[in-house]
Structure 1
Amino acid sequence: MEKTQRITFGAVAIAILFALGGCSGMSTQGKNTAVGAGVGAVGGAVLTGGSVLGTVGGAAVGGVVGHEVSK
């Protein structure tokens, strides 16, 4: 079990590094939209108890707010 957890942690860490590297060429507005969508998804999931509809709705609202904030 210990070995599986280490492999999983390593794979997740590598995936996060690649995802962050993909954001390097984005505009400020694009970054704000992505951050807003992520925060909105987490907020929606927390407020609705993990419902898929709440997560997707939160991501949509957060993305719009993040996009508009950077204008």
Structure 2
Amino acid sequence: MKSRVRELREERGWSQAQLGERLEVSRQTVNAIETGKYDPSLPLAFRIAGLFASTIEAIFFPEDPE
């Protein structure tokens, strides 16, 4: 799954660690979400969307089919 998490985080000038603190997850989890190695749980996706005052669909989207 692709996401706009990195873009939204950088727009706010936050480090991965700072975003992790706001979401109550580790910096490693933020990195894994940003690189597409980890799909967040639905509750975490809702927290991310709420933090960025957006919808889940505006932040997360499926990868292009191969």
User: By the TM > 0.5 criterion, same fold?
Assistant: no
RCO greater where, 1 or 2, for CA within 8 Å and sep 6 or more?
2
Q: TM-score, normalised by structure 2?
A: 0.26
Q: TM-score, normalised by structure 1?
A: 0.25
Flag the structure with higher strand content: 2
Q: Select the structure of larger CA radius of gyration.
A: 1
Flag the structure with higher helix content: 1
